C-alpha cells in the first residue's frame, strides 16, 4: 500500500502520534532498523509482522494489567 492510501484511523482522536511512536519503540526493542523515509514497504513481511504482533501483545498486556488493578481496588 503506497503513501496516501492509508485507510486505518485511530479510534481516539490524536492517538496516531502515540501509535506511531510506539511502533518505532517496538521496532527498536526487536532490533529492527525502522526506515528513515517512513515507508515500511521495503522491510520484509516477517519484520513488519513482528513489529505489529509485538505491539498488539504489549497493548493486551497493558490492558490486562489495568483490568487486574481495577479488580484489586474494588475488593
Q: What is the pLDDT of residues 33-55, one digit of tens each?
A: 988 888 888 999 999 999 999 99
Please state, rounded to an integer, the average pLDDT across all residues of the chain: 88
Alpha-carbon distance 35 to 53, whole Å?
18
More confident residue, 60 or 38: 60
Residue count of the chain:
75
How high is the pLDDT of residue 7?
74
The H or E element that residue 1 is part of is none
- The mean pLDDT of 53-59, rounded to a whole number, is 96
**Burial grade of 43 (CB within 10 A; 0-12, 13-18, 19 or more):** middle
Alpha-carbon distance 75 to 67, whole Å?
13
Amino acid at each position: 500500500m503506497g503513501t496516501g492510501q492509508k485507510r486505518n484511523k485511530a479510534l481516539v482522536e490524536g492517538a496516531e502520534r502515540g501509535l506511531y511512536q510506539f511502533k518505532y519503540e517496538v521496532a527498536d526493542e526487536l532490533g529492527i532498523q525502522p526506515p528513515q523515509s517512513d515507508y515500511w514497504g521495503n522491510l520484509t513481511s516477517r519484520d513488519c509482522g513482528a513489529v505489529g504482533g509485538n505491539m498488539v501483545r504489549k497493548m493486551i498486556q497493558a490492558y490486562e494489567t489495568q483490568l487486574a488493578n481495577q479488580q484489586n481496588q474494588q475488593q
